């Protein structure tokens, strides 16, 4: 079984799942109220230039100004048209940040390029992630089916996923033949095997789109949106369809018709069938996607052998711990450990893609004594990451059995998209025990008594669970206080109060 794309369209959100051999490999979610902005082009106004950081902030009409680094300023802004090498490899899939082609050799400081209140055309290359705002660039890129168009630079790149040298050269030669002078393109993975007519159709389409963007930008008054990228349904077809995709299944009749029209108009000779799902069960339930989403929200993932991995995501990095669990093996300890680590490699890469985990990742493999075992694990990890569309860099297994790696972060992880910090533990992942809270209440009683020497009654307001613990854990202590201080204590249990929230009130 090849690759399938399952699309679930609902009024409040749209979800896209990529299934490889019936297993969910990637999940994309776009909520109606939180549409992705990466790819949108704006006529913006510079609000602040910071020479010390070589960055500027650009108002594009959103709640927060976009962050523009000097390296993301097109040389056209300061009268220089760059020409980059023709053999540079590139990322594919329309990842706009990855398609930057770098800065020219000599770049003036940002304060000589931009001034406050200057109007400039920019594109959002990274949506807000966590506490970080949008990142913008004046290197404009327009993704098509086979190509990514870069109208402001003279550059031809080929996706590193097209590995055949002869095919790479053929595609580059065809594109050099049909592109206009000083027009830049990146040849995407989907172009592998594409004809000259396929590429020409893409070039013509992207040139027309760029003409419309320029015309709208000239008429617009900053800040203004001049081009909006496709929604998640059509963007999935543009970016995910490839030779290995056997079919696309969608459960919305209106969007099914849109997809068919888009395929016919945009791709010329459609080879992938677009099917309308008519089943009684919800489409994600029918294809067991919902189960995988629930599984991807858990910390512990069991391996078939009986071992397991534990995934902890923090703001700075993600740690993954590998454990043998119930697996004891049949021969030597080294063989048991190696087998568990190799099995964990496949599950780890699968979970990284499914959960869309990016940034710095530390994998704590079970300690291996032999260098040969460490090398096998490293090579297995390197091989397993090859199909991943997100760029990854890995270091070899350290003396402590750790692997450090980075994976390109282009959008929020699945956990950050679907979840929020727990209101009970405030995101810590744990809560104080009832005994600890009781002891905190005892100390709070002492503080309240000291501040209110004339009070004769203290009221303790706590959750039902903590109130019960006070009667059990603190009954002797409270009785002693009542006798020593001539106080009366009242404990009020409130089901709506959380365990760590309490109040001690002095009453006259």
What CATH number is given to the structural domain containing 476? 3.40.1260.20
Structural domain ending residue among the three candidates 270, 290, 310? 290
139-160 pLDDT per residue, tens? 999 999 889 999 988 888 998 8
Domain range for 473 is: 434-507
232-240 vs 253-266: helix axis angle to the nearest 10? 40
> Do 331 and 369 lie in a common domain?
yes
CA angle 92, 315, 427 (to 5 degrees): 130
154: CATH: 2.40.50.140
pLDDT of residue 58: 94
Is pLDDT of 62 > 50? yes
Half-sphere exposure of 101 (CA within 13 A, CB side): 31
Q: What is the DSSP string of 336-348?
A: HHHHHHHHHHHHH
Give the CA dihedral 385, 238, 36, 161, nearest 10 degrees.
Answer: 20
- Which tokens go with 271? 């080879």
Best CA proximity match to 232, nearest among 34, 415, 96, 24 = 34
pLDDT of residue 270: 66
- Which of 68-72, 403-407, 476-480 ranks highest by mean pLDDT? 403-407
Is pLDDT of 93 > 60? no
> Do 247 and 386 lie in a common domain?
no
Q: Distance between CA atoms of 203 and 209, rounded to whole angstroms? A: 10
- Which tokens go with 207? 């040139």
Q: Distance between CA atoms of 496 and 341, rounded to whole angstroms? A: 45
pLDDT band at 83 (very low <50, low <70, confident <90, very high): very low
Give the CA dihedral 78, 83, 88, 91, nearest 10 degrees.
Answer: 40
Contacts 24+ apart (CB under 8 A), 258-267: 258/233, 258/234, 259/233, 259/234, 262/234, 262/237, 263/237, 266/145, 266/205, 266/237, 266/238, 267/145, 267/241
Is pLDDT of 176 > 60? yes
Please report, rounded to a whole number, the percentage of residues in the chain having pLDDT higher than 70. Answer: 91
Mean of pLDDT over the chain: 86
Q: Distance between CA atoms of 64 and 87, rounded to whole angstroms? A: 38
> Do 101 and 219 lie in a common domain?
yes
323: CATH: 3.40.630
Cβ-count burial of 87 within 10 angstroms (0-12 exposed, 13-18 middle, 19+ buried)? exposed
- Which tokens go with 349? 């890469």
User: If DSSP codes are grouped into helix, strand and coil, which group holds residue 186?
Assistant: strand
Structural domain ending residue among the three candidates 194, 228, 262? 228
Q: Distance between CA atoms of 323 and 336, rounded to whole angstroms? A: 11
pLDDT of residue 94: 44
> Do 51 and 181 lie in a common domain?
yes
- Which of 265-274, 356-365, 430-439, 467-476 ranks highest by mean pLDDT? 356-365
Mean pLDDT over residues 317-334, rounded? Answer: 80
Residue 223: asked if its preceding bond is cis (omega within 30°), the reply is yes
Instruction: Quote the number of domains for the chain.
Output: 4
Are 454 and 508 in contact, with CB atoms under 8 Å apart?
yes
252: CATH: 3.30.420.40
Best CA proximity match to 414, nearest among 359, 348, 346, 354 = 354
Q: What is the DSSP string of 463-507?
A: -HHHHHHHHHHSHHHHHHHHHHH--EEEEEE-TTS-TT--EEEEE
Mean pLDDT over residues 304-319, rounded? Answer: 89
Q: Which single residue is written with the structure tokens 């995709």?
A: 245
> Do 458 and 362 lie in a common domain?
no
Does residue 426 fall inside a structural domain? Answer: no
Are 110 and 45 in contact, with CB atoms under 8 Å apart?
no
> Do 21 and 64 lie in a common domain?
no
pLDDT of residue 368: 87
238-275 pLDDT per residue, tens? 888 877 888 999 999 999 999 998 888 776 656 788 99
Q: In what order do the strands lie in the sheet with 488-493?
A: 488-493, 457-462, 503-507
Does residue 415 fall inside a structural domain? Answer: no
Half-sphere exposure of 9 (CA within 13 A, CB side): 19
> 128-132, 321-325, 338-342 — which is least confidently predicted?
128-132
Q: Distance between CA atoms of 56 and 213, rounded to whole angstroms? A: 23
Does residue 384 fall inside a structural domain? Answer: yes
Q: Tell me which H or E stretch contains 349.
A: helix 333-355
Who wins on pLDDT, 498 or 1?
498
- The predicted model scores a pTM of 0.78
* Ranges assigned E (strand) in 205-358: 224-227, 245-250, 274-276, 300-302, 308-313, 317-323
Q: Distance between CA atoms of 97 and 105, rounded to whole angstroms? A: 20
């Amino acid at each position: 079984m090849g690759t399938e794309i399952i699309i679930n369209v609902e009024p409040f959100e749209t979800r896209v799942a990529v299934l490889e051999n019936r297993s969910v490999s990637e999940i994309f979610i776009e909520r109606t109220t939180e549409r992705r902005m990466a790819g949108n082009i704006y006529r913006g106004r510079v609000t602040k230039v910071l020479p010390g950081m070589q960055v500027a902030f650009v108002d594009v009409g959103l709640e927060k100004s976009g962050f523009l680094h000097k390296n993301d300023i097109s040389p056209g802004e300061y009268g220089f048209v760059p020409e980059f090498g023709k053999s540079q490899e590139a990322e594919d899939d329309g990842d706009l940040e990855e398609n930057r082609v770098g800065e020219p050799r000599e770049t003036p400081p940002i304060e000589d390029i931009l001034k406050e209140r200057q109007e400039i055309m920019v594109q959002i290359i990274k949506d807000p992630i966590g506490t970080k705002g949008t990142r913008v660039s004046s290197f404009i890129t327009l993704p098509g089916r086979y190509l990514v168009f870069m109208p402001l630079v003279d550059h031809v790149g080929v996706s590193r996923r097209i590995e055949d040298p002869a095919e790479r050269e053929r595609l580059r030669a065809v594109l050099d033949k049909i592109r206009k002078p000083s027009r830049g393109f990146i040849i995407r993975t989907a172009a592998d095997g594409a004809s000259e007519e396929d590429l020409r159709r893409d070039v013509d389409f992207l040139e027309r789109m760029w003409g419309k963007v320029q015309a709208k930008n000239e008429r617009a008054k900053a800040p203004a949106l001049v081009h909006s990228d496709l929604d998640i349904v059509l963007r999935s077809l543009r970016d995910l369809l490839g030779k290995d995709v056997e079919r696309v299944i969608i459960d919305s009749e209106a969007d099914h018709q849109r997809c068919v029209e888009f395929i016919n108009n945009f791709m010329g000779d459609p080879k992938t069938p677009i099917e309308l799902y008519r089943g009684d069960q919800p489409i994600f339930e029918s294809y067991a996607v919902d189960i995988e989403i629930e599984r991807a929200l858990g910390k512990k993932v069991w391996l078939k052998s009986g071992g397991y991995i534990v995934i902890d995501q923090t703001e700075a990095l993600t740690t993954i711990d590998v454990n043998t669990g119930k697996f004891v093996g049949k021969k030597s300890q080294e063989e048991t450990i190696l087998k568990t680590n190799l099995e964990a490699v496949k599950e780890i890469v699968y979970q990284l893609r499914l959960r869309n985990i990016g940034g710095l990742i530390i994998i704590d493999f079970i300690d291996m004594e032999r260098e040969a075992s460490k090398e096998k694990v490293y090579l297995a990890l390197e091989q397993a990451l090859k199909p991943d569309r997100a760029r990854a860099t890995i270091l070899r297994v350290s003396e402590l059995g750790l692997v450090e790696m980075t994976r390109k972060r282009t959008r929020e992880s699945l956990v950050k998209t679907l979840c929020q910090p727990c209101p009970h533990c405030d995101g810590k992942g744990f809560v104080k025990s009832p005994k600890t809270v009781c002891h905190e209440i005892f100390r709070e009683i002492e503080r309240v008594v000291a501040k209110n020497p004339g009070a004769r009654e203290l009221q303790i307001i706590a959750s039902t669970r903590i109130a019960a613990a006070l009667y059990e854990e603190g009954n002797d202590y409270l009785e002693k206080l009542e006798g020593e201080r001539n106080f009366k204590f009242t404990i009020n249990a409130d089901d709506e109060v959380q365990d760590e929230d309490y109040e001690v009130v002095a009453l006259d």
